[in-house]
Structure 1
Amino acid sequence: MKKLIGIGLFAVLLMGTSCVSNKKYSQLEEDLKKTENDLKSAEMALSVCEEKKASFKDQVNTLKNTNAALLNSQGDLASLSKKGAENLERSLESIQEKDLQIKTMRDAINKKDSVTLALVTSLKGALDDVNDEDIEISVEKGVVFVSISDKLLFGSGSYKITSDAKRVLGKVAKVVKDKSDFDFMVEGHTDNVPISRECFEDNWDLSTKRATAVVRLLQNDYNVDPKRMTAAGRSEYLPVASNDSKTGRAKNRRTRIVVLPKLDQFFGMIEEGMKNAE
Structure 2
Amino acid sequence: MKKIVLLGAGIAIFFSSCVSQKKYAELEAKQKETQDLLNSATVKLNSCLESKSRLEADNQSLRSEKNALIDNMGNLTTLSKKGAENLEKSLESLREKDLRIQRLQDAMNKKDSVTLALVTSLKGVLGNLNDEDIEISVEKGVVFVSISDKLLFRSGSYTVTDRAKEVLGKVAKVVNNKPDFEFMVEGHTDNVPIKRPGIEDNWDLSVHRATAVVRILQNDFNVAPARMTAAGRSYYIPIDSNETASGRARNRRTRIVVLPKLDQFYGMIEDTMKDMSGK
TM-score normalised over the length of structure 2: 0.86
Q: Which moved more, 1:66-75 or 1:234-243?
A: 66-75
Q: Does 1:63 align with 2:62?
A: yes
- In our comparison, the structure showing a higher alpha carbon Rg is 2
CA separation in 2, counterparts of 1:84 and 1:30? Answer: 78
Counterpart position of 2:257: 258
CA separation in 1, counterparts of 2:248 and 2:239? Answer: 9
Counterpart position of 1:76: 75
Counterpart position of 1:160: 159
Deviation at 1:30, TM superposition (A): 4.6
Deviation at 1:70, TM superposition (A): 2.4
CA separation in 2, counterparts of 1:246 and 1:30? Answer: 144
1:32-65 deviations in whole A, cap 9, x for unaligned? 4443333233222222211111111111122122
Q: Does 1:249 align with 2:248?
A: yes
Task: Work out the number of aligned pairs and report it.
Answer: 262
Q: Which moved more, 1:28-37 or 1:267-276?
A: 28-37
Q: RMSD of the TM alignment (CA)?
A: 2.2
Do 1:104 and 1:274's aligned partners in 2 also have CA atoms closer than 8 Å?
Answer: no
Counterpart position of 1:49: 48
Counterpart position of 2:232: 233
TM-score normalised over the length of structure 1: 0.86
Counterpart position of 2:6: none
1:114-152 deviations in whole A, cap 9, x for unaligned? 110000000000111222221110001110000111111
Identity of aligned residues (%): 66
Q: Does 1:179 align with 2:178?
A: yes
Counterpart position of 2:7: none
Counterpart position of 2:13: none
Q: Which runs of 5+ in 2 are unaligned?
A: 1-15
CA separation in 1, counterparts of 2:24 and 2:199? Answer: 158
Q: Counterparts in 2 of 1:136-215, with a 5 A limit? A: 136-215=135-214
Counterpart position of 2:270: 271
Secondary structure of the equivalent of 1:244? Answer: coil
CA separation in 2, counterparts of 1:149 and 1:30? Answer: 141
After the TM superposition, which parts of structure 1 deviate over 6 Å for at least 4 consecutive aligned residues? 20-25
Give, as a single letter, the amino acid of the residue that structure 1 aligns with 2:237: L
Counterpart position of 1:12: none
CA separation in 1, counterparts of 2:38 and 2:186? Answer: 123
Give, as a single letter, the amino acid of the residue that structure 1 aligns with 2:167: V
Counterpart position of 1:6: none
Give, as a single letter, the amino acid of the residue that structure 2 aligns with 1:88: L
CA separation in 1, counterparts of 2:46 and 2:175? Answer: 110
1:195-248 deviations in whole A, cap 9, x for unaligned? 131220111111111110111111111111100000111111111111111111
Counterpart position of 1:88: 87
Q: Which runs of 5+ in 1 are unaligned?
A: 1-16
CA separation in 2, counterparts of 1:154 and 1:50? Answer: 120
